[in-house]
């Protein structure tokens, strides 16, 4: 794989992993649309590892507090808000883990296509917009219940389908369940940690440049997204998804 391809794909992964526009779709499309060589599993794992480093670095204090309070609650018999949130993240990870074990092979074989990405990009883009407009946006993370965490986790399992967007579908679910934008985004980012960790638990020999660029761009994306989410809402990302989906449909129709 050429260095130029490594740079572009790593930046695409880092920027899109935590935006609600699907990183998996943006890693697949250069191969499907531009004819670039398939980067392979090792590179995918490498750039996801970069994103994992970014989210762990950005939320390092939160993660440390979640671990300490989550485990400490067993000793004291009482869980703080962070301790409770830690176990809600574990609970929310279970559906995606089970879905990955059961369906990942089928999805990799049959659903990695431009047509599927076009459909999921549009459908879940419209759903994201609807949830952002009509969601009550009243609740923060302290109000999150185990039932809602499980529902968000079930929504996360749908992100195995390319074009769905893990961050997009979890934020959509959070907004539909009455969460504030920033709370939905923060829970989505924290919920990504176990999932990305699981995806990186394979032998890999990928390119160091991909890890570094993906990590830096993902870190900056998290920082600026959390700063602006309350003001800009989800509409720009929904519009981007609709335009991308329409462009893919036009491309498929023309070919």
Identify the residue whose tokens are 């509409």.
235
Check residue 35 and give its pLDDT.
85
In degrees and rounded to multiples of 5, residue 200 shows phi and psi of: -95, -5
Whole-Å CA distances, 116 to 86, 110, 160, 162, 225 = 34, 9, 12, 7, 27
Check residue 204 and give its pLDDT.
47
Cα–Cα distance, 53 to 29 (Å, whole number): 25
Q: What pTM did the predictor assign?
A: 0.82
Check residue 201 and give its pLDDT.
65
Check residue 73 and give its pLDDT.
83
Are 7 and 47 in contact, with CB atoms under 8 Å apart?
no
DSSP for 186-234 reads HHHHHHHHHHHHHHT-S-----HHHHHHHHHHHHHHHHHHHHHHHHH-S
Whole-Å CA distances, 55 to 51, 67, 69, 254 = 6, 15, 19, 40
Check residue 207 and give its pLDDT.
55
Could you tell me which residues come within 8 angstroms of residue 22 by beta carbon, excluding any fewer than 6 positions away?
16, 117, 120, 121, 159, 162, 163, 164, 165, 166, 168, 241
List the chain residues with pLDDT less than 50: 203-206
pLDDT in tens, 73-86: 877 778 899 999 99
pLDDT in tens, 107-124: 878 887 888 999 999 999
Check residue 202 and give its pLDDT.
54
The upper half-sphere exposure of residue 193, i.e. CA atoms within 13 Å in the direction of its Cβ, equals 23
- Among residues 129, 126, 121, 198, the alpha carbon closest in space to that of 159 is found at 121
DSSP helix/strand/coil, 179: strand
pLDDT in tens, 166-198: 999 999 999 999 999 999 999 999 999 998 887
Ordered by start, the domain boundaries in the chain are: 3-254
Q: What is the dihedral of CA 8, 13, 14, 16, to 10 degrees?
A: 110
């Amino acid at each position: 794989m050429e260095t130029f391809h490594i740079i572009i794909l790593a930046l695409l992964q880092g920027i899109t992993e935590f935006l609600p526009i699907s990183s998996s779709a943006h890693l697949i499309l250069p191969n499907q649309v531009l004819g670039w060589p398939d980067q392979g599993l090792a590179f995918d794992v490498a750039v996801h590892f970069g994103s994992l480093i970014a989210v762990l670095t950005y939320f390092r204090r939160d993660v440390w507090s979640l671990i300490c309070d989550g485990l400490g609650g067993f000793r004291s018999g009482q869980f703080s808000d962070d301790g409770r949130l830690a176990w809600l993240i574990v609970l929310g990870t279970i559906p995606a883990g089970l879905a990955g074990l059961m369906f990942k092979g089928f999805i990799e074989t049959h659903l990695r296509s431009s047509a599927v990405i076009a459909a999921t990009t549009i459908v879940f883009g419209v759903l994201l917009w609807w949830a952002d407009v009509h969601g009550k946006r009243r609740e923060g993370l302290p109000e999150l219940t185990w039932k809602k965490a499980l529902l968000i986790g079930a929504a996360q399992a749908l992100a195995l389908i390319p074009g769905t967007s893990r961050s997009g579908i979890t934020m959509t679910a959070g907004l539909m369940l009455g969460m504030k934008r920033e709370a939905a985004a923060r829970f989505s980012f924290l919920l990504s940690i176990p999932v990305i960790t699981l995806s990186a638990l394979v032998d890999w020999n990928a390119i160091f440049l991909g890890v570094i660029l993906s990590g830096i761009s993902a870190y900056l994306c998290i920082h600026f997204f959390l700063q602006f989410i309350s003001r800009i809402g989800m509409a720009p990302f929904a519009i981007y998804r609709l335009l991308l989906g329409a462009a893919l449909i036009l491309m498929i129709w023309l070919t």
